[in-house]
Structure 1
Amino acid sequence: MVNNVPAGNLQLCAAVLFTGSSFSQISKFLGAFNIQGLSEQCFYRHQAKLLIPTVNWQWKLEQDDLIREALESGSVTLGGDMRADSPGHSAKYGSYTMMNLTSNKVIDIQLVQEVCGWPPPVEFGPGSQLFLPGAVAACLLHS
């Protein structure tokens, strides 16, 4: 038992989440072998209450370490890119990835919504512009 949740149920939910599968796929698979599984409501509750917060917590620990390492190294070279999925000619949503080019490690990923040129670039040194999303901007620009 983990937090009063049967460990097998939690492991099944984790396996589905971490492999990119879906509840419907695993439900069909278990049904084909006449194996009783958990309900869809229980599946999503375990993900929302236990797995997603754990993944976010672990990512935050890793991100804090990566930012600390970047700041301790003295000189930081960052690169970023936004990828958008556009159903037409204009993309409304996208993911922005910020990478430390020295260590080749991703230090931040943000989902952003573009609205009339938002997010704007941030001035970062003479003659350069850079958009720094989220916690990375606060940490690197104000340190």
Structure 2
Amino acid sequence: MAENNLLISSATVFTGGTYSDMADRAQLLNLHIPRQTQFYAIQSIYLIPVILYAYREQHDKLTEHLTQERASGRKIELCGDARCDSPGFSSKYSTYSFQDDATKEIVHFELVEVTEASSSVAMEAMGFQRGLNHLLYMGVDIGVMTTDRSPSIRKIMRDTCTDIHHEFDPWHKSVKKKLVTASNKKDNKDLQPWVKSIINHLYWSCESCKGDQEECVHWWKSLLHHICGVHRWEENGVEHTCHHPPLTEVQQRRRKWIKADSPPFQALKAIVMDRNLLQDLKQMSCFKHTVLCDDFKSLRAKMSCGHTVTPMSLTIWCLCAG
């Protein structure tokens, strides 16, 4: 085989390119490259086995490192998230990824096909359960598992993994959605300038509590005092203050505070004091994130949607996942 045939085929696959893109560029430059049938033959015979070997070798090293951590007495903190090959309820494939929160390395991921689950929605929970069982079987001592607020995953953690602390990602899109919906109503227009600040306050409450669940809930509810322009208040005989620097008279006067008896305040109070949200906040106090999986999810999305890579590249990805 000519060396260039192997190099061009390798460069195309390893960079996530497609044969058609490479052929178009080669034609413009008057370069001769392998034909499409030879290109896919080289992938099947040489490149897929090499990728599979490299993946398994790296995966074994990661697993060995995690098991050694158990021997040293350190519990592993993982975050997990799923990504499907298409949005909505028509997904065919879903991958659930597990990332070490300390090293930011993807330690494991599971590929699930829709035919294995009862529906496309159920693929996420199946991938999570399968991946978690694999890591536990390999001897990984998991101390904290951070996921989204999927009801199915909650049930799995609550019923079968009571010795693992379950955290939620602080990114709470439903809160923002409720705030935007409420502020768009005619009587609640005064709430609109506060939406971004309220979301920032949610993050700050989770971060500043340093793992104290009650403190996280307390600072989140303190929003109801601050938004009315009250920065010092008393609860159960204990005086509390806002954590921001003291406001000048000019700042206090210019800020558009919301009155406690107004419709926007009542709408906000219903969102802030929502029972389910307050319960979820207790599982956000460690301020863990699943967003760290996003770069890996972007790679998986490219390989699963078929827009930027060839079907053969999807085959390689499936082999690596299996």
Report if TM-score (shorter chain) is over 0.5: yes
Distance change in 2, residues 1:33/1:103 (3 Å): closer
1:54 and 1:36 map into 2 onto residues whose CA distance is 25
Please say which of residues 52-61 and 78-87 is displaced more in the overlay: 78-87
1:24 equivalent in structure 2: 20
C-alpha separation in 2, matches of 1:64 and 1:38:
35
Letter in 1 for 2:129: F
Query: For residue 4 of structure 2, what is the aligned residue in structure 1?
Result: 8
Deviations 1:73-93 (A, max 9, x none): 112222221112445445342
Counterpart in 2 of 1:82?
82
* Structure-2 change in CA distance of 1:73 and 1:88 (3 Å): closer
Q: Give the strand-richer structure, 1 or 2.
A: 1
Q: Which residue of 1 aligns with 2:96?
A: 96
CA 1:20/1:119 → structure 2, altered by over 3 Å: closer, same or farther? closer
Moved more, 62-71 or 73-82: 73-82
Moved over 4 A (4+): 118-122
Distance 1:89 1:139 in 2: 28
Structure 1 residue aligned with 2:51 = 55
Q: Structure 1 residues 36, 71: CA separation in 2 closer, same or farther (over 3 Å shift)?
A: same
Higher helix share: 2
Give the C-alpha shift of residue 8 in structure 1.
1.3
Q: Shift of residue 138 of structure 1?
A: 3.5
Partner AA of 1:94 in structure 2: S
1:28-70 deviations in Å (ceiling 9; x for gaps): 1111222221110110111111111101111111110001001
Aligned mates of 2:23, 2:68 — CA distance in 1: 48
Distance in 2 (alpha carbons) for counterparts of 1:23 and 1:55: 18
Shift of 1:112: 1.1
Would you say the 8 A contact 1:13–1:46 is kept in 2? yes
Aligned AA for 1:131? Answer: Q
RMSD: 2.4
> 1:33/1:90 Cα in 2 relative to 1: closer, same or farther (>3 Å)?
closer
CA contact (8 A) 1:95 1:111 kept: yes
Provide the C-alpha distance between the structure 2 equivalents of 1:57 and 1:132, rounded to a whole number of angstroms: 22
* Cα distance in structure 2, aligned partners of 1:120 and 1:25: 37
Q: Which 5+ residue runs of structure 2 have no aligned equivalent?
A: 140-322
- Whether contact under 8 Å (1:70, 1:100) holds in the other structure is no
Per the alignment, in what secondary structure is the counterpart of residue 45 of structure 1? helix
Q: 2:28 is matched by which residue type in structure 1?
A: A
* Candidates 30, 33, 39, aligned match of 1:34: 30
Question: Given that residues 14 and 51 in structure 1 are in contact (C-alpha distance below 8 angstroms), is that contact kept between their aligned partners in structure 2?
Answer: yes
Report % sequence identity.
24
1-structure distance, mates of 2:59, 2:83: 21
Bigger relative contact order, structure 1 or 2 (CA pairs below 8 A, ≥6 apart) = 2
User: Judging changes above 3 Å, is the alpha-carbon distance between structure 1 residues 21 and 92 closer, same or farther for their aligned structure 2 residues?
Assistant: closer
Shift of the alpha carbon at 1:103?
Answer: 2.1
Count of aligned positions: 130
Larger CA deviation: 97-106 vs 64-73: 97-106
Determine if the alignment matches structure 1 residue 131 to structure 2 residue 121. no
Bigger Rg, which one:
2
